Amino acid sequence: MINSEKTFIITTSILCLSIAIGEPVPFLMQLDRWEVLLPSIGISAMHMQLLHNGMVVMFDRTDFGISNISLPGGMCRFDPSDTAVKFDCSAHSVLYDVVSNTYRALKVQTDTWCSSGSVLPNGTLVQTGGYNDGERAARMFTPCGYSETCDWIEFPQYLAQRRWYATNQILPDGRIIVVGGRRQFNFEIFPRPDYHRYKGSRFEFLRETSDGDNENNLYPFLHLLPDGNLFVFANTRSIVFDYKSNRIVRVFPEIPGGDPRNYPSSGSSILFPLDETKNVMEAEIMVCGGAPKGAFSRARSQHGFTRAISTCGRLKLSGSNPIWEMETMPLPRVMGDMLLLPTGNIIIINGAGSGTAGWENGHDPVTQPIIYHPFDRRFSIMSTSSRPRMYHSSAVLLPDGRVLVGGSNPHIYYNFTNVEYPTELSLEAYSPPYLSFTSDSIRPKILTNDKIVGYKRLFNVNFFIAQFLTIYLLSVRIVAPSFTTHSFAMNQRMVILKLLSVTRDGLTNSYRIDALGPSTAEIAPPGYYMMFLVHAGVPSSAAWVQIE
């Protein structure tokens, strides 16, 4: 199938063209917008995961003082290893319901600071690691109905190693790989293999890419590739890693410029949509932003804020001689979150214009997101939020196409006053231009769909649309909801599925799609995905499908 955005450029008016490519429309009005959803959810959303019941699990750390929300049921927690208060009746995790815009406190008992997560194929969130009494914990959260009170279940000594600043990726067989963490040059698998002294597997690449005391390669960027191997980016280097045989199968050139891209020089990274409609599936990644070498020690020792990096590198992983193609963002940014929008464009949101990750290390908040258009390699600067989103902020894509933004706390404690960037408890939503009512006439609306989609199996979607242009402008995409923290959206991926036919239901404006499930579990690991229809650059709201 022809790529919809390109076709669209040829066939439609300037107004629609602008909407499709996410550009502010020059003569009319700003089509994108920010809204504050809730002024306080009681905690700072350092980590976020959207679940398939439309709720978002959020949490920060547990051992740095009293939050602004109480634990459920008047419960309190006595923790002798807490670094701020030993006796704490406040909660550090909440469950946010997107549709009703409400939240409730959750009980997490051990410290979840700077941890990682993935969702199992059955929809249960697995969170791994943290700090202090939580550094070897695995925790599970199984979604439940609105009126039920499901909560965290913790397994405090579950992990083989301490995992603080590790990255996770769901694997084709439904297991989870947990890679690295502070002073951990190894990886492990969840669920833990069934033998007594399991210690994980060595991964020397992480030792080799470490600057100083394990700097600039924490929260390594992981992407599961269509061949089943892992792309791993740490500091300035990247490889294709066969985790099954613990073997590096490919080494890429260093990213040009020599500047580090991982924590605390936190840039971000995405895997471009995997396209089943092409004859040959190509995997391409993009890494954006970060902080120059030395920026972290300069921020820490001299309170000096180095200008962030404004380059992105694109790397096609197939082909015999991969080279980095560099792009320049209109704004430099460190600690930006990169998310795939349903259209296949990339949003880069949150973060700072100078400094690095770490306590009090960031400056010059960048409150304007940018949207990158991969086909014509263009960036658009979008409208401004009033709230700085610095260290410990996060963002996830919602099923309705908005981007949920929360968190920001560059302090060791909850500090609401007398600091430069107060601990931020609010939630905001950013609506990209494609959500403007001016696109509603060509926006598909999913009416019914098969809830279970098998590999290479036919499935149906019924949709309504006021003005259907043509089949060449329509595509079906699935997006895995990410576990976002510290500027990286773990497990995020988009697959554009093969569309076989679109049939009109008589003379109505309803249509039926026959489409094919993803080819393999390497392309789309089993689990719940948001399925979007995108028509002429305008997405529907998503319906959930379970790939199996």
Ligand X SMILES: *[C@@H]1O[C@H](CO)[C@@H](O)[C@H](O)[C@H]1NC(C)=O
Question: For binding to ligand X (CB under 6 A), which residues are involved?
Answer: 40, 65, 68, 120, 122-124, 140, 142, 411, 413, 415-416, 419, 425
Which residue, 40 or 297, is less far from ligand X as judged by CB? 40
Terminal Cα-to-Cα distance of the chain (whole angstroms): 25
Q: Which is nearer to ligand X, 513 or 547 (CB)?
A: 547
**C-beta of 116: minimal distance to ligand X in Å?**
17
What does 142-208 look like in DSSP terms, one character per residue? ----TTS----EEETT-SSS--SS-EEEE-TTS-EEEE--TT--EEEEESPPSSTT---EE-HHHHH
375/416 with CB nearer ligand X: 416
Gap between the Cα atoms of 510 and 249, Å rounded? 48
Query: Closest separation between CB of residue 67 and ligand X, Å?
Result: 9
- Least CB distance from residue 261 to ligand X, whole Å? 27
Tokens, residue 284:
């391409």
Q: How far is the CB of 545 from ligand X (least distance, A)?
A: 16
Q: Are 342 and 531 in contact (CB under 8 A)?
A: no
Least distance in Å: CB of 368 to ligand X?
24
Looking at beta carbons only, is 126 or 497 nearer to ligand X?
126
Strands (E), 243-390: 247-251, 268-271, 274-275, 284-288, 311-316, 324-328, 337-340, 346-349, 352-355, 362-365, 370-373, 378-381
The least CB distance from residue 103 to ligand X, in Å, is 11
Task: Give the up-direction half-sphere exposure of residue 461: CA atoms within 13 A in the CB hemisphere.
Answer: 33
> Nearest distance from residue 357's CB to ligand X, in Å?
16
Comparing CB distances to ligand X, the nearer of 61 and 411 is: 411
The residue to which tokens 């959500």 are assigned: 435
| CB nearer ligand X, residue 53 or residue 519 | 53
Judged by beta carbon, residue 1 or residue 140, the one nearer ligand X is 140
Name residue 374's amino acid. Answer: P
For the bound state, the minimum distance from the C-beta of residue 240 to ligand X, rounded and expressed in Å, comes to: 29
433: which 2 tokens? 């231009």
Q: How far apart are CA 276 and CA 517, in angstroms?
A: 9
Dist. CA 318–CA 347, nearest whole Å: 24
Q: And the tokens for 273?
A: 């949509």
Per DSSP, which regions of 51-101 are E strands?
55-59, 77-78, 87-88, 93-97
Q: How many angstroms separate the CA atoms of 363 and 14, rounded?
A: 38
Give 135 or 424: the residue with its C-beta nearer to ligand X: 424
Give the side-chain half-sphere CA count within 13 A for 390: 22
CB of 112 to ligand X, least distance (A): 18
Residue 176 or 291 having the CB closest to ligand X: 176
Asked whether the beta carbons of 299 and 364 are under 8 A apart, the reply is: no
